[in-house]
Amino acid sequence: MTTILLVDDQQLIRDGFKLMLNLEPDLDVVGEAADGRAALALAARLHPDVVLLDIRMPVMDGLETTRRLAAAHSSAAILVLTTFDLDEYVYQALRDGARGFLLKDAPREQLVHAVRVVAGGETLLAPAITRRLIERFVRRPAGGQPPAVAAPLTEREQTVLRLLAHGQSNAEMAAELVLGEATVKTHVARILAKLGVRDRVQAVIAAYESGFVEPGA
């Protein structure tokens, strides 16, 4: 059973999401909070698998909540909620440790899929909208600096990172590179280890910020 903590200052949003999620036999909303401060206390007590977190809230917003959950080494996967598809706050939340984001008006099947993806240890990176978000707000280094991200990676790992940065799933990369999915997973795991990042989102952000992958390429 995947346990979920809902964090949104709007009661109607929480009620709607709770109703949709609790219809699934493998999902269970175990707590609700109207702001980040209350969410931190509940997360410490309930240890949810997923925190569904509004990015813009009073008292403590989703950015600070994400940072504090990461600092507390919480095992919860953070899925950020937003009303804007290209929101700089969401980009910052991804940098700080969120595993993906979801628009508040997403249909039920997308909500359920997103929760299951991040609960399974993956990152919700495949949609092109996430790549566009990263491309738009990426903080590039000063001109002339070589892409240091590439240095520790083999040629094959560099190829995988480029495909990852363009939003391809393991299955899509396996098909393009004529490899097994298990081999692709191994390459991704080695990339994360060599770059010293937590997950695929962090690897993609590093690829763009270092200049290894060019926005719009």
Q: Round to whole Å and give the CA distance between 170 and 167.
A: 10
The pLDDT mean for the chain works out to: 88
Per DSSP, the residues of 23-55 read TSTTEEEEEEESSHHHHHHHHHHH--SEEEEES
Q: State the Cα angle at 170 between 165 and 172, rounded to 5°.
A: 85
52 and 80 co-located in one domain: yes
pLDDT attached to residue 73:
82
9 and 84 co-located in one domain: yes
9 and 103 co-located in one domain: yes
162 and 189 co-located in one domain: yes
The residue out of 124, 149, 179 marking a domain boundary is 124
What is the span of the domain harbouring residue 197?
A: 141-209
Q: How many domains does the chain have?
A: 2
93 and 147 co-located in one domain: no
Q: Do the bridges between strand 27-33 and strand 2-7 make them parallel or antiparallel, or are there none, so unpaired?
A: parallel
The residue out of 95, 124, 153 marking a domain boundary is 124
What is the domain-level CATH number for residue 156?
1.10.10.10
pLDDT tens digit sequence for 63-104: 999 999 988 888 899 999 988 877 888 888 988 989 888 888
pLDDT attached to residue 182:
93
130 pLDDT exceeds 80?
no
165 and 74 co-located in one domain: no
What is the domain-level CATH number for residue 117?
3.40.50.2300
